[in-house]
Amino acid sequence: MQQSVALGMGGLEIWAQPSQRLPRHLKERAWLEIRQHSRISQAPHNAQFNTSFAEPAETNCPPEFIDSITQNIMSDPVILPSQNICDRSTIVRHLAERATDPFTGLPLAIEQVKPNLALQLRIRNWQQK
């Protein structure tokens, strides 16, 4: 029985890139699916895609340090008006495609995004341990 790889937010693929928190064998399989089914060829000519299969620095990261969209450790966490938290780079990239909150679908502008300095400090302290 052949298993299929489902692509989607918080799963295997975010912006045509496998999540860094996936095991290596699933990343390789995700890349095969992405190449077959994604719109990478329609990406802007200056878009750069990370094709490395490097494992994250820490797999025992506290869950609140993980970006809920990309499933990667945040470096610049921000709070959206919906009170959801994600990394600034994630929301900037999302807003470049559509001007909505990715969690609620409501209109969103970058000016409405606020830094989460307390969480950023906790992440940096944890990374330095």
pLDDT tens by residue, 86-118? 999 999 999 999 999 999 999 999 999 999 999
Are 71 and 13 in contact by the 8 Å Cβ rule? The answer is: no
From the list 88, 112, 89, the residue with the least C-alpha distance to 99 is 112
pLDDT tens by residue, 13-46? 455 554 556 566 666 666 666 666 554 444 444 4
Residue 49, pLDDT above cutoff 50: no
Neighbours of 11 (CB within 10 A): 14
Q: Which residue has the tokens 């995700």?
A: 30
Taking residues 45-63, report their average pLDDT.
54
Residue 52, pLDDT above cutoff 70: no
Task: Using alpha carbons, list the distances in angstroms from residue 22 to 7, 51, 94, 121.
Answer: 13, 13, 21, 26
Are 107 and 99 in contact by the 8 Å Cβ rule? The answer is: yes
How much is the pLDDT for 68? 87
Are 59 and 34 in contact by the 8 Å Cβ rule? The answer is: no
* Largest Cα–Cα separation, the chain: 49
As separate numbers, helices (DSSP H) first and strands (DSSP E) second, the chain gives 3, 5
pLDDT tens by residue, 60-88? 889 999 998 888 999 999 999 999 999 99
How much is the pLDDT for 27? 63
Are 123 and 63 in contact by the 8 Å Cβ rule? The answer is: no
pLDDT greater at residue 43 or residue 128: 128
